[in-house]
Structure 1
């Protein structure tokens, strides 16, 4: 039987429902806990996050994949409480958002150590929480090219994915040639990798989304809602119509529906920074799905994007 690791235990993939595949309960850079201006208390974070997850559940959302890596504010006991309170399945990750977010202990580690650590968090549990990671996060450090540390992390992730059967999700789809070379060297099928942020406003023009798909990889359009039309848009924002047209072209005109996944990459309660006002995971239901319907996308296609593709991706294969 197919299964997926959630923070409250493994469940059949068929029970995931509508999946937000690239999101954050609370993300911050290492050291953000020392910030004195934007840091919220646990009570404030809880009060800010619960209504968003409850609304997600009311809209029909089933599963929230938190891809906040090691060193970036990952708090699995907190996720367990949120999941029990709201009824939303939460999938936690192992791995790193990028090598430049790995604290020195991990930055100095070997490929073998990193792979062993990822495997432990997937098969035994994260710390003393008893919860097992359901996806491995990797990423490209600032600068747009993989560093040597990034490459070690990607290689370790590939080995852990092969050992455990869980998939890999990347932060940015840039420098995909190096990433795919590593995955190929390690013998990891590319349908076990979701190359994320193919649609963000900084890197979209440099991201070879169709090439990645032709190699067999999955492609994430997962910064929906970060729009230049916002009152105070972030630097990675993009015009709403331009992003939607890009997505429609990829899934319909270019024919890569089976390899596409979508999400909002929203932060329920940002750590150490103010966040983007008004942007939540519920953009998926409040704006994105209505935009898809208005563009003539049928319900079967919407189900493929938000139910079938993520269930297939997240299913443990071993």
Structure 2
């Protein structure tokens, strides 16, 4: 039986239940902890985060993958406390959101050093927390093109994933050809790579969906709720129905097994104000009702949030 690391210990993949695959307990850029305007006390962070996770649990959410990388506010001790308080399984990641978020110590490191770092956090734990990472995060830096550092991180992630059996999740699905080449060279099963943010507003026209699917990759529809209809939408926003129809195109084509869905919400942003009116619970409050109104049956919805997640976290050999 396959198992996945949560911050409170490993569980069977079948115990994950309804899972949002790409979220953030608290994301900020490196150095945000020095910003006296937006840095928050632990009390403030709890006050903002606990009600959102409790609501998620009450509405049917069971597990939550935190895609906050090293240097971006990842705090496994905090995640452990939140999981205990709310009953939500939290899967933490190792890796980096993108090369441009890696501090100099890591940015100057060789591929094998980075791979060993990822492997340690998956098999031994993150720092002294005892909590182990259950997924690896990688990303394309700003500019929509892989940098040399991005390429080193992707290669290190592939080595660590092959060595440990955990999957990979990406920030952005653009400029994917170099990533696919690296995964092939390192023997990484691309079926266990989720190419994220393929649905965001700034990535449209830049994602080779056909190439990713042909290679066996999975597509992340994981920015639901970042709608241009919001009072103050983010630059990566997109019209609500346009994003929804993008997902529906996959479902109508019989490709529900190739996608994973999330909101990329930030429970308590670090170093920036966040996006007002957007939480993980958009999935229950808006997206799932929209799916049902469009004729999507309960079995397909369960596949998107349960079955596909189990398959993604299950090693194939």
> What is the match of residue 214 of structure 2?
214
Q: Is the contact between residue 4 and residue 316 of structure 1 (CA under 8 Å) also seen in structure 2? A: no
Gapped regions of structure 1 (runs ≥ 5): none
Deviation per residue, 1:42-82 (Å, 9 max, x gap): 10001110000000000010001001000000000000000
Q: Verify: 1:270 aligned to 2:286, yes or no.
A: no
Contact 1:72 1:101 in 2 (8 A): yes
Aligned-pair Cα RMSD in Å: 0.9
Cα gap change, 1:4/1:316 in structure 2, threshold over 3 Å: closer, same or farther?
farther
8 Å contact 1:210–1:250 — kept in the other structure? no
Aligned pairs (5 A) from 1:220-259: 220-253=220-253, 255-259=254-258
Question: What is the correspondence of 1:1-318 to structure 2 with a 5 Å cutoff?
Answer: 1-253=1-253, 255-315=254-314
Q: Encode CA deviations 1:62-106: one digit per residue, 9 max, x unaligned.
A: 001001000000000000000000000000000000000000000
Query: Contact 1:63–1:88 (CA<8 Å) still a contact in 2?
Result: yes
Say whether the 8 Å CA contact 1:20–1:63 is kept in structure 2.
yes
1:314 CA displacement: 2.0
Q: TM-score, normalised by structure 2?
A: 0.99
Q: Secondary structure at the match of 1:11?
A: strand
For residues 316 and 9 of structure 1, what CA distance do their matches in structure 2 show? 18
SS in 1 for 2:81: helix
TM-score, normalised with respect to structure 1: 0.98
Q: CA deviation at 1:317?
A: 5.7
CA distance in 2 between partners of 1:36 and 1:300 (Å): 47
- Structure 1 position 252, deviation (Å): 1.9
Matches of 1:58 and 1:228, distance apart in 2:
28
For the 8 Å contact 1:224–1:263, the answer to whether it is kept is yes
**Aligned equivalents of 1:63 and 1:130: distance in 2?**
19
Deviations 1:203-227 (A, max 9, x none): 1221112321121001100000000
Deviation at 1:316, TM superposition (A): 5.1
User: Which stretches in structure 2 are left out of the alignment for 5+ residues?
Assistant: none
The one-character-per-residue Cα deviations of 1:92-145 (angstroms, maximum 9, x if unpaired) are: 000000000000000000001000010000000000001110000000001111
Report the Cα distance in structure 2 between the residues aligned to 1:61 and 1:71, rounded to whole angstroms. Answer: 27
**In 1: Cα distance, 2:239 partner to 2:293 partner:** 17
Report deviation, 1:312: 1.4
Q: What secondary structure, in the 3-state scheme, does the structure 2 residue paired with 1:10 have?
A: strand
Q: How many equivalent residue pairs?
A: 317
What's the CA shift for 1:40?
A: 1.3
Query: C-alpha displacement at 1:307, in angstroms?
Result: 0.3
CA contact (8 A) 1:122 1:164 kept: yes
Report if aligned partners of 1:3, 1:316 keep a CA contact under 8 Å in 2: no
Cα distance in 1 between the residues matched to 2:39 and 2:105? 25
